[in-house]
Amino acid sequence: MAEVEIFSAEVCPYAQRTRLMLLEKGIEHSLTEIDLKNKPDWFAEVSPYSKVPVVRRGDDLVWESSVINEYLEELYPHPPLMPKDPGRRALARIWIDFANVKLLPTWYRVFLEQDKARRAELAARLTEYFRFMEFEGFRKASQGGPFWMGKQVGLVDLCYYPWFERLPALEHYRGIGLPEDCTQLAAWIRRMASRESVKACAQDAAFYIQGYSHYADGTEDGVTARDMRAGTG
């Protein structure tokens, strides 16, 4: 029996963050797929927020993808996916926080918002965030390296990439793409897409376009959509 167990869902970008982490580290694990539209009764016992991902290891039950990935980084330090220097570690955490607190709530609200004027405001904010990531984030933090924190792939790359695999759904439903001047982010997406870990759990555009249809027509009523609408996601 594998030491680490992940409760996951194929559609879920947060779970993909942790699946990428397990693959990049080569951590042996077992995966239990949760049908988010029909969660088993026992799921409440392992997931206090009723969300994936959750990781179980011995007596440890850990949820929240960013917390899980740092937990795994501490337990399995090789290969290191965080910089050594405290200042650079802090910078990595700032960008992970930016994803969680700014980018992703706006991303989901652009899908969920049915009012066109409010949606246009959110779309403008999302585009501004993409540029901020390119010019204040990637270009500075990477110090000329191919990945977010430099030479090696790291936690920040794994934290953002799943949403960039889903960009075709954003373009399809909301006509929003990566701005043309975000050239380094565009190259980083291609670089990430060619990694073995990414290929091992990638899905195509059609899968995501189908997966986001209920977000786009406003009928999605899962815990995540409710949290994002309420500003608590």
Ligand X SMILES: N[C@@H](CCC(=O)N[C@@H](CS)C(=O)NCC(=O)O)C(=O)O
Q: Is there binding between residue 51 and ligand X (CB under 6 A)?
A: yes
The tokens for 226 are 């409710």
Q: Is there binding between residue 64 and ligand X (CB under 6 A)?
A: yes
Q: Is there binding between residue 12 and ligand X (CB under 6 A)?
A: yes
C-beta of 179 vs 222, nearer to ligand X: 222
Q: Is there binding between residue 65 and ligand X (CB under 6 A)?
A: yes
Catalytic residue among 12, 159, 182, 201: 12
Burial 97-125 (b: 16+ CB within 10 A, else e): ebbbebbbbbbbbbbbbeeeeebeebbee
201 assigned to active site:
no
Q: Is there binding between residue 224 and ligand X (CB under 6 A)?
A: yes
Residue 107 CB, shortest distance to ligand X, in Å, is 12
Among residues 125, 205, 222, 229, the one that binds ligand X under rule CB under 6 A: 222
Q: What Cα–Cα distance (Å) separates residue 183 from each residue in 81, 141, 168, 187, 188?
A: 24, 15, 17, 6, 9
Strands of 29-33's sheet in order across: 29-33, 4-8, 54-57, 60-63
Among residues 46, 52, 182, 216, the one that binds ligand X under rule CB under 6 A: 52
C-beta of 135 vs 173, nearer to ligand X: 173
What span, in angstroms and rounded, lies between the C-alpha atoms of 123 and 176? 7
User: Nearest to ligand X by Cβ — which residue?
Assistant: 222
Residue given tokens 């990428």 in the structure block: 20
Catalytic positions are 12
Site residues, ligand X (CB under 6 A)? 9, 12-14, 36, 50-53, 64-66, 222-224
